[in-house]
A and B are shown apart, each in its own frame.
Chain A
Amino acid sequence: MAVSFLNLLDKFRPHKVYRPSPLVGIFQFIIVAAFWFGIIYGVTTIVTLLFVKFIPELLGLYNLDSIAELVRNLAPLMAIMVLIPANATFLVLNERKVLALFTVRSGPNRVGPNGFLQTVADAVKLLFKEDITPKGADLLLFNLAPVIFFGPTVISFIPILSCATDNFGPFALCDLSIGILFVTAISSIPVLGLVLGGYASNNKYSLIGGLRSAAQAISYEIPMVLTVVSIIVLTGSINLREIADNQIGGLFSWNIFAFGNMPLLLNLFPLGRSSLIGLYGLALLGMSLLLFFIYLISACAEVNRIPFDLPEAESELVSGYNTEFTGMKFALFFLAEYTALFIICCLASIVFLGGGHLPTSFEVEKTILENLAVFKLGDISWLLPSTVLMIKAYGLIFVSVWVRATLPRLRYDQLMKFSWKFLIPLSLINIFIAAVLSSVKI
């Protein structure tokens, strides 16, 4: 029957069944993601250009060269301040869209084409909400908690930026010699914000959430840092850009593949005198994969991702530490949480997946970089490493959403047991093995 009388009293309506092709959702999501990448890059580039070029030139007209120099050096900070909100806006949308794909839904598709502006609308809504302080709350700590949570997240982005732009112009300032230690050290501060927020909001659920986050952060920071120590031992550097540059030259020189010692495995096949060297390569390969997975697990727990989201367990603790926060403060918590996820994914892709280097030989990369450097409107050689790093980081974020769609939340004792009885001994053993492996000379 062509026509049914569903809304029978006033109008006729076609009786059709809409079954979109399975790939339509994925295709729409890719288009949305591409447009959002454009927005993130565009906004960040405009602000950076403003601070690197236009404002200093304007100040130069009035002979204020010292101030112009200062403004030029502020550019990386401004780039971060713009990049983080724009990026977090897309991260939330990305998470909701990918989760919708996994749970066989259409996902957010109302605001803008295919839900393109969904998180923008959410952000605007949060900005205009009333800022409520609960009765009996510790005012100072209550207002301070979101800042303590958000501030370090911004700061810990600095060394990653130098790696992402390959020391382009003023971004050379971000090139810290202790990059990886800096990131791990700074990114352990936000937990303080969670504990304070839970304590200050005069709510038992918030308090339990805050205490849980403290215990969890302490437990999972240890395997993460121990893993970083093993990585430092094996790569021989704590500068993020150096670690990334050591992995130049194709897929098999990435750290995740036996720290660039993949050719050693070839000695294994005709069994004989050299098979011991092959075994050494095999040990390195197993080591690197193990380190990668321990890092991912403990980093996931560190930023309260879903299999480890006990601090904000919805079914037990309303929303955990951020129950009482409204409006802008809640938005700050949300922003910092997703930015922390982005930072750990960036760090993992720098340390294990070759950072901003293509999985091809260096000659290809070099020609692309040289072509970009002589672009009509100026040197845009920063575009390649930053895009590659972004894509790698978003690949890892996809994995984290995938894990979120698969695994249920751990019980509290399971969480503690997993860290203290499994991950920490394993990573301690790893340091020992890493020391032995790195001391072997071939």
Chain B
Amino acid sequence: MKEKNIIIKTVEGLYNIGNGMFTVLKHAFRSPITSSYPEVTPELYPNTRHRLALTVNPDTAEHLCIACKQCERICPDNCITVIPDPEKKGTIKEFVLDHGLCMFCGLCTEVCPTNCIINTVDFEMSEYSREDLIYDIDRLTLTQDQSRFYFDFKQMPKPKPKPVKPAVVAAAKPVEEVK
């Protein structure tokens, strides 16, 4: 009885090992999943969360930030500092973002009312010192072309040009649409 058992087990083991080895052999004829990174950049999806950036209006090149400070408030790591322009309400003077603290949760991009702060698909952001990871508004702001690319890539609604007198236009607009 026991000898029979051993023979059955041996045959089963041989069959299973052969099966597994055949499966492995099939994998040798697949194209490699990994890519040689510096030569071949990976294909990233629109909602991958990498370096943060500020967009401008693709048509008029206005800065989209309205200094509402919602991103600063929601940031779990307190890595965003928004300094509004004291003279002109609704515009921004300085925007400091410490990428050394950032954990790329993307909460700021979700909360932003004007789609100004976005996660780009750029992940090559190594620097020689920690201070270099603190980005000011010049390094954060994208050019017009880049903003246009990201508005298309992420399929965000195109921003409307900033109204000159916000209160009046806001009241007038719905009336126009009704007509």
Tell me the A residues contacting B by CB distance below 8 Å.
1, 4-9, 13, 15-26, 100-106, 109, 402-403, 405-407, 422
A-B contact sample (20 more), CB < 8 A, given A5-B149, A106-B35, A403-B21: A1-B149, A4-B121, A7-B122, A8-B53, A8-B122, A9-B139, A17-B43, A19-B31, A24-B31, A25-B31, A101-B27, A103-B27, A104-B27, A104-B30, A105-B33, A106-B32, A402-B21, A402-B25, A406-B20, A406-B24
Q: Which of A5, A6, A22 has the most CB of B within 10 A?
A: A5
B121's contact among A6, A17, A103, A104, by CB below 8 Å, is which? Answer: A6
Chain B 49-84, CB-CB to A under 8 Å as 1, else 0, gives: 000010000000000000000000000000000000
Nearest A residue to B148 by beta-carbon distance? Answer: A5
Q: Find out whether the CB atom of B24 lies under 8 angstroms from the CB atom of A405.
A: yes
* 28 A-B interface contacts by CB (under 8 A): A1-B152, A1-B153, A5-B146, A6-B122, A6-B124, A8-B53, A8-B120, A8-B146, A9-B139, A13-B41, A15-B41, A18-B35, A18-B40, A20-B32, A22-B31, A25-B32, A26-B29, A102-B27, A104-B27, A106-B34, A106-B35, A106-B36, A109-B36, A402-B25, A406-B21, A406-B24, A407-B17, A422-B6
B28 within 8 A of A: yes
Find out whether the CB atom of A104 lies under 8 angstroms from the CB atom of B32: yes
Query: Contacts of B21 on A, CB cut-off 8 Å?
Result: 402-403, 406
In contact, A406 and B122 (Cβ under 8 angstroms): no
Which residue of chain A lies nearest to B123 when distances are taken between CB atoms in the complex?
A: A6
Q: Which residues of A contact B30 (CB under 8 A)?
A: 22, 104
Residues of B within 8 A of A105 (CB): 32-34
Contacts of B31 in A (CB 8 A): 19-22, 24-25, 104
B97 within 8 A of A: no
Q: In whole angstroms, what is the CA distance A106 to B24 when docked? A: 16
Residues of B within 8 A of A (CB): 6, 17, 20-21, 23-25, 27-36, 39-41, 43-44, 53, 120-122, 124, 139, 142, 145-146, 149-150, 152-153
CB neighbours (8 Å) of B23 from chain A are 406
Q: How far is the CB of B142 from chain A (nearest CB, A)?
A: 7
Summed over the interface, the residue pairs from A and B with CB atoms below 8 Å come to a total of 85
Per the bound structure, the CA–CA distance linking A23 and B24 in Å amounts to: 16
Q: A6-B121, A407-B17 are in contact. Are A102 and B33 (CB under 8 A)?
A: no
Residue from the list B24, B41, B43 in contact with A402, Cβ < 8 A: B24
CB distance from A296 to the nearest CB of B (A): 12
Contacts of B149 in A (CB 8 A): 1, 4-5
CB contacts (< 8 Å) of B6 on chain A: these are 422
B29: which A residues are within 8 A, CB to CB? 22-23, 26
Question: Contacts A6-B41, A6-B122: A102 and B20 contacting too (C-beta < 8 A)?
Answer: no
Contacts of A402 in B (CB 8 A): 21, 24-25
Whether B121 and A102, one on each chain, are in contact in the complex, defined by CB atoms closer than 8 angstroms, is no
In the bound complex, what is the Cα–Cα distance between A9 and B150 (angstroms)? Answer: 13
The 5 closest A-B pairs by CB, nearest first: A18-B40, A22-B31, A101-B28, A406-B24, A106-B32
Chain A residues lying within 8 Å of B27, measured Cβ to Cβ, are 101-104
Q: Is the CB of B24 within 8 A of A102?
A: yes
- Bound form: Cα–Cα A65–B34 in Å: 61
CA–CA, A422 and B139, complex, Å: 70
In angstroms, Cα B41 to Cα A18, docked, is 9
> In the complex, A16 Cα to B24 Cα: how many Å?
30
A118 to B90, CA, bound (A): 59
Distance to closest chain B CB from A172 (angstroms): 41
Give the Cβ gap from A175 to chain B, nearest Cβ, in Å.
37
Give the residues in chain B near A8, CB-CB below 8 Å.
Answer: 53, 120, 122, 142, 146
Does B32 contact A15, Cβ atoms closer than 8 Å? Answer: no
Q: Please indicate the chain A residues that have their CB under 8 angstroms from the CB of B120 in the complex.
A: 5, 8
Q: Which residues of A contact B44 (CB under 8 A)?
A: 6
B28 touches A406 (CB 8 A): no
Give A1 to B44 CA distance when docked, in angstroms: 13
